Amino acid sequence: MVDYAIIQTGGKQYRVQEGDSIRVESLPVEAGDALDLEEVLLVSKGGSLKVGNPTVPGARVKTEVKGHGRGPKVIIFKFKAKTRYRRKTGHRQGYTELAIRDILVEE
């Protein structure tokens, strides 16, 4: 059985394993820093499954910040027929890329 965890950050949930790389909402940390994520909702480690209520007590996921970036541009185009109304704007969402180093659970 594969060791994995389900974490929550930035209002979203992610299924992570050791060695994974994920992109999460922008976090106020520097590239290269270590970061512990403590909102762990579920842990599967060594064949046992622990489900939190809402989080697993004593569980955390150690990560390393690989860097920051911005996602692809999303175009917002508003249009109303027969009134010469057109508005075009764009948006690029910022992200932080994390490398998952370890999943820890206190027994």
Model pLDDT, residue 46:
87
The number of folded domains in the chain is 1
Q: Looking at residues 7-15, what average pLDDT do you find?
A: 96
Residue 52 has pLDDT above 80, yes or no: yes
Q: Which residue bears the tokens 């704007």?
A: 89
**Domain membership flag for residue 83:** no
Residue 35 falls inside a structural domain: yes
Quick check: is 44 in a domain? yes
Residue 79 resides in a domain: no
Q: What is the pLDDT of residues 54-101, one digit of tens each?
A: 999 999 999 999 999 999 999 999 999 999 999 999 999 999 999 999
Residue 23, judged by CB atoms within 10 A of its CB (0-12, 13-18, 19+), counts as: middle
Q: Does some domain include residue 85?
A: no
Determine, yes or no, domain membership for 82.
Answer: no
Strand-pairing partners, residue 85, are 80
